[in-house]
Chain A
Amino acid sequence: MKKQTQRKKTILVIEDERPLLEVVNTRLQKKGFGVITARSVDQVFNAGLEKNDLGIIASKSIKEALEYLEDLEKIDAIWLDHNLIGKENGLDFVKKLKANGGLWKKIPIFVVSNTEKSDTIRSYIKLGISKYYVKSNNRLDEIIKDIHTSLDKKKRV
């Protein structure tokens, strides 16, 4: 019998291509995750996140937005695309997260990107992300399965 008491894990998905964002959202929900989506770094830090009945949260600073989100919901992992809407890319996002410290610093980040450039990948790894997937080398369902597995493992340790 399945345990019902376990808290649902929440993944923040940041991806600019809407059709892809929708597929990932649906797939993760089917796997039993709660999902919050955003299409730009700005959207995350201004907390303009799209989530069921969650409206827009006005926030003056990144720190305030992060604190608000921490109170609101624990985010267990981040699915991050490199190329995003606006000026900032995934790398800027990771830098901001790590610089803000607190709970956010420890959230596992899975980068899922079209970029195969080794210096970009290296910069991400140096910043301490959990894993980097090149989109064209991995099927969507494989990536989802892989993330599911690694989050599951983490829980048992």
Chain B
Amino acid sequence: MNPLEHKKTILVVEDERPLVQAIQTKLEKNNFIVVTARTVDQAIDYLENIKKIDAIWLDHYLPGEKTGLDFVAYLKNPKGAWSTIPIFIVSNTASSTNVRSYLRLGVSKYCIKADHRLDQIVEDVKTFLLHPEK
């Protein structure tokens, strides 16, 4: 059996290169497969092309016209194929309206970058995906 089949694939949507690199390294060390995108349109292109994406790590502010919020609204369309993929927002923005909008749309978790160490966020994602009962 292909050993890759046990591993979960995470689509990381984040535009700051050093951060992407750090997230990618940490997720891979924790046995995840990572694919990265810098914009919402690129992320949608990857979702359409890559068969198996198990979770999405998403920043709010991204280059281009669309923000993370636009992406989540698009994903959570109940008629779409992606409405059940868990989404983790990892962002600098702490505006309560944004946080509320994300939670109302049904994201799994919202982390403020400044308040959480990357390791801790990775650990949270891992717990959520591998032990959903916790």
- Chain A residues in contact with chain B, CB under 8 A? 17-20, 22-23, 27, 83, 114-115, 135-136, 139-141
CB neighbours (8 Å) of B17 from chain A are 83, 114-115
Of residues 39 through 61 on chain B, the ones whose CB sits less than 8 Å from some CB of chain A are 39, 41-42, 45-46, 49-50, 52-53
Contact with A along B15-54 (1 / 0, CB 8 A): 0010011000000000001111111011001100110110
Residue of A nearest to B64 (CB): A136
Name the distance in Å between B98's Cβ and chain A's nearest Cβ. 23
Interface of chain B, main secondary structure = mixed
CB neighbours (8 Å) of A17 from chain B are 34-36
**CB-CB under 8 A for A19 and B9, given A115-B17, A140-B49:** yes
CA distance A20 to B41 in the complex (A): 15
B1 at the interface (CB under 8 A from A): no
Name the distance in Å between B30's Cβ and chain A's nearest Cβ. 15
Number of A-B residue pairs at CB separation under 8 A? 44
Name the distance in Å between B93's Cβ and chain A's nearest Cβ. 21
Interface of chain A, main secondary structure = helix
CB neighbours (8 Å) of A136 from chain B are 37-39, 41-42, 63-64
Name the distance in Å between B70's Cβ and chain A's nearest Cβ. 15
Query: Does the CB pair B45–A139 fall under 8 Å?
Result: yes
Name the distance in Å between A145's Cβ and chain B's nearest Cβ. 14
Name the distance in Å between B127's Cβ and chain A's nearest Cβ. 23
B4 at the interface (CB under 8 A from A): yes
CB neighbours (8 Å) of B63 from chain A are 136
CB neighbours (8 Å) of B42 from chain A are 135-136
Query: What are 26 A-B interface contacts by the 8 Å CB criterion?
Result: A17-B34, A18-B4, A18-B33, A19-B33, A19-B52, A19-B53, A20-B35, A22-B50, A23-B49, A23-B50, A83-B17, A114-B17, A114-B20, A114-B36, A114-B37, A114-B38, A115-B17, A135-B38, A135-B42, A136-B37, A136-B38, A136-B41, A136-B42, A136-B63, A139-B45, A140-B46
Query: Does the CB pair A19–B39 fall under 8 Å?
Result: no
CB neighbours (8 Å) of A27 from chain B are 49
CB neighbours (8 Å) of B38 from chain A are 114, 135-136
CB neighbours (8 Å) of B49 from chain A are 23, 27, 140-141
Query: Does the CB pair A19–B50 fall under 8 Å?
Result: yes
Of residues 74 through 119 on chain B, the ones whose CB sits less than 8 Å from some CB of chain A are none
CA distance A118 to B33 in the complex (A): 29
Which of B39, B41, B49, B50 counts the most chain A CB atoms within 10 A?
B49
| The one of A18, A20, A83, A115 that contacts B46, using a Cβ cutoff of 8 Å | A20
